[in-house]
């Protein structure tokens, strides 16, 4: 998604070299609609420049620092030399990430949505998480909870979360569920304890998975799973609840799994 406004002084922008003249370089700004900037020859590289074409080529992607913006004159002054290698690398990666997020938006809302709604949804993600990519990344990690602070409706949230979980590669995801454990026996505390040990996996959980079972308030216990991807996390969460159900059931008790809390934490 391209921004409709103007960049601000000091901002780093990605552009494509459109035209090269002896006095400088014209750059089409990839992140802004119908915006073009000028890199004066003195801002192309440090030191004396004999030939601008020795430093840049037409169609080359460049990262520039915005020096000055004059909206009335439709003028954006840029600098290439004021951007160091680290800044350039980070900005290019951010730009590539946003391009991915644009494609994810198209996947999530490819049908039945007009341009205004498309932009509205994108802006909700940007306002909530700082960028379109970060919004999808948080949706992949935390699910619908990542979008609680937005004005998106349930269908829009579901579309974003589903698309994020199918397309975003994240270092880990966390899922949470709750299980109510009940035992009719006089020694029910021991039955519950064994069920909790079973839920925790009895020390047989794979190293890449972090599984934690904590007390919320009788009879409710929280199961929290952190894993490399959503499917693995969900599978392990269901398996944990299943082990608890099997263990407590063997003693005549019962286990009920649910995704939302039913009691207040103590």
Residue after which a domain boundary falls, among 48, 83, 118: 83
Rounded to whole angstroms, the Cα distance separating 170 from 17 reads: 33
Rounded to whole angstroms, the Cα distance separating 94 from 115 reads: 24
What strands lie across the sheet with 220-227, from one edge to the other? Answer: 210-217, 220-227, 173-182, 254-258
Rounded to whole angstroms, the Cα distance separating 236 from 228 reads: 11
Residue-wise pLDDT tens digits, 33-52: 999 999 999 999 998 999 99
Percent of the chain, pLDDT > 70?
A: 97
Residues 218-237 have a mean pLDDT of 89
- pLDDT tier at 79 (50, 70, 90 boundaries)? very high
| pLDDT value at residue 266 | 41
Residue-wise pLDDT tens digits, 201-223: 977 888 778 999 999 888 999 99
| pLDDT value at residue 265 | 44
C-alpha distances in Å from residue 36, one per residue of 2, 78, 96: 13, 10, 20
Q: What is the average pLDDT value for the chain, to the nearest integer?
A: 90
Any domain includes 265: no
Any domain includes 91: yes
Residue after which a domain boundary falls, among 167, 197, 220: 167
- Domain total of the chain: 3
The structure tokens listed for 131 are: 């960028």
Same domain, 184 and 212: yes
Same domain, 162 and 178: no
Rounded to whole angstroms, the Cα distance separating 253 from 245 reads: 8
> In sequence order, which residues have a C-beta less than 8 Å from that of residue 224 and are 6 or more positions away?
174, 175, 176, 211, 212, 213, 214
The enclosing H or E element of 70 equals: strand 61-70
Same domain, 39 and 96: no
Q: Find the domain containing 160 and state its range.
A: 86-167
Tell me: pLDDT of 1 over 70. Answer: no
Same domain, 181 and 248: yes
| pLDDT value at residue 262 | 65
Residue after which a domain boundary falls, among 41, 60, 83: 83
- pLDDT tier at 239 (50, 70, 90 boundaries)? very high
Same domain, 141 and 195: no
> How big is the chain, counted in residues?
266
CB neighbourhood size of 266 (10 A)? 7
Tell me: pLDDT of 126 over 90. Answer: yes
């Amino acid at each position: 998604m391209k921004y409709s406004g103007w960049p601000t002084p000091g901002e780093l922008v990605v552009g494509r070299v459109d035209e090269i003249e002896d006095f400088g370089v014209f750059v089409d700004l990839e992140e802004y609609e119908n915006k073009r900037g000028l890199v004066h020859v003195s801002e192309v590289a440090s030191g004396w420049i004999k030939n601008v074409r020795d430093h840049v080529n037409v169609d080359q992607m460049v990262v520039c620092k915005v020096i000055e913006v004059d909206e009335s004159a439709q003028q954006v002054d840029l600098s290439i030399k004021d951007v160091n290698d680290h800044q350039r690398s980070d900005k290019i990666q951010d730009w590539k990430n946003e391009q991915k997020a644009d494609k994810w938006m198209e996947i999530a809302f490819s049908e039945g949505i007009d341009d205004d709604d498309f932009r509205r949804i994108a802006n909700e993600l940007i306002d909530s998480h700082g960028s379109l990519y970060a919004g999808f990344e948080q949706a992949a990690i935390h699910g619908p909870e990542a979008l609680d602070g937005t004005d998106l409706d349930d269908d829009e949230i579901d579309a974003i979360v589903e698309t994020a979980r199918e397309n975003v590669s994240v270092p880990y995801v966390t899922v949470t569920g709750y299980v109510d454990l009940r035992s009719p026996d006089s020694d029910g505390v021991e039955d519950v304890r064994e069920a909790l040990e079973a839920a925790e996996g009895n020390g047989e959980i794979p190293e890449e998975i972090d599984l934690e079972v904590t007390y919320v308030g009788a009879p409710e216990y929280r199961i929290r799973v952190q894993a490399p991807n959503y499917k693995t996390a969900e599978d392990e969460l269901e398996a944990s609840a299943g082990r608890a159900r099997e263990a407590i059931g063997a003693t005549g008790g019962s286990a009920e799994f649910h995704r939302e809390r039913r009691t207040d934490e103590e």
